A = this chain, B = another copy of it.
């Protein structure tokens, strides 16, 4: 059994890590860290975990990292850099924040509005899109899990951009996400009364996940790629659906995606013409991808659905941890979606 610490255990991704790890054969939770809720029982803040035998929440300085094998870090950006800077240098870390996703610290500063203060750690970090960075993740000490929206967009786009099967100049990612991605912080705009029965866009043309799209797509294409990205908020808790408009042959696109993901346990390409739903991946680590031919302009419409808390975050994190420790990549992650 590998001993695990979760930093930021009182948020939704923290809780999702606990849910997944509670069914994992080789990870064992040693400490749950949440500074502002230190001293409270975990079931007090997450009563759905009442049946689990979990340690109390503690503050960071109460943790003895001596015997710890792995840290999952689910803290807000910026805070993350400070805290990871202070941890023992040998510790393996799977970070779920935005702090180590961008290889260029200047890009971080541009998109997040503050200088990066852990440039050394950044050099070590591997981008955590398991299916595309598998070999690097296996030997990484620090893995930076992707943004949930970025994951949804990159799964269909990366293979197509790499092989230049789609036009690089006209890629539109129109996306809708459930509210759990906004976290458990108390914000007026996230109240049930504000969200329910409403649908709208936010951070149009300036969402920070654009920086990840730019970085990863440019890298795959071998040239600068800039996409359009419009996220919307769905009145539901979990799930992301990306609707992607690209210029290219639908047949070729479907064939290429089939090829790219045929051996992947978690990325499933639907039969040509079928469309995925967030409802069909809820609570699971699966990503469903659909390809439909548009009627005009050689355009193809791609769809990608995943659960933002699972494949988009905590599930991806555990998948990466499995890779880092040489476990079966699917360990703890085979739970079927919950429907309805």
Q: Are A294 and B205 in contact (CB under 8 A)?
A: yes
Mask, A316-334, CB within 8 Å of B = 1, is 0000000000000000001
What's the least CB distance linking A274 to chain B, in Å? 8
Q: Are A184 and B188 in contact (CB under 8 A)?
A: yes
Q: Are B174 and A296 in contact (CB under 8 A)?
A: no
Chain B residues within an 8 Å CB radius of A338: 19, 48, 282-283, 338
Q: Are B299 and A340 in contact (CB under 8 A)?
A: no
Chain B residues within an 8 Å CB radius of A340: 12, 180, 193-194, 196-197, 237-238
A interface secondary structure, majority: loop
Mask, A156-198, CB within 8 Å of B = 1, is 0000000000000110101010111010111110111111111
Question: Known contacts A23-B336, A286-B51, A339-B19: does B192 contact A195 (CB below 8 Å)?
Answer: yes
Q: Are A51 and B268 in contact (CB under 8 A)?
A: yes
Interface flag for A129 (CB, 8 Å)? no
Number of copies of this chain in the oligomer?
4
Instruction: Give Cα A239–Cα B295 distance, bound, in whole angstroms.
Output: 26
Instruction: Give Cα A134–Cα B257 distance, bound, in whole angstroms.
Output: 49
Q: Are B186 and A236 in contact (CB under 8 A)?
A: no
Instruction: Give Cα A184–Cα B339 distance, bound, in whole angstroms.
Output: 12
Interface flag for A77 (CB, 8 Å)? no
Q: Are A279 and B200 in contact (CB under 8 A)?
A: yes
Residues A208-240 near B (CB distance < 8 A):
210, 226-228, 230, 232, 234-239
Instruction: Give Cα A288–Cα B43 distance, bound, in whole angstroms.
Output: 13
Chain B residues within an 8 Å CB radius of A297: 169-170, 228
Contact residue among B178, B197, B234 (Cβ-Cβ distance under 8 Å from A238): B197
Interface flag for A22 (CB, 8 Å)? yes
Question: Known contacts A190-B191, A193-B180, A228-B245: does B295 contact A200 (CB below 8 Å)?
Answer: no
Instruction: Give Cα A234–Cα B299 distance, bound, in whole angstroms.
Output: 24
Instruction: Give Cα A194–Cα B288 distance, bound, in whole angstroms.
Output: 18
Chain B residues within an 8 Å CB radius of A293: 205
Q: Are A205 and B245 in contact (CB under 8 A)?
A: no
Instruction: Give Cα A45–Cα B296 distance, bound, in whole angstroms.
Output: 31
Question: Known contacts A283-B338, A294-B205: does B237 contact A234 (CB below 8 Å)?
Answer: no
Residues A1-43 near B (CB distance < 8 A):
12, 15, 18-19, 22-23
**Sorted from nearest, which 9 A-B pairs have the closest CB atoms?**
A198-B279, A200-B277, A193-B340, A192-B195, A48-B337, A48-B280, A186-B186, A48-B339, A192-B192
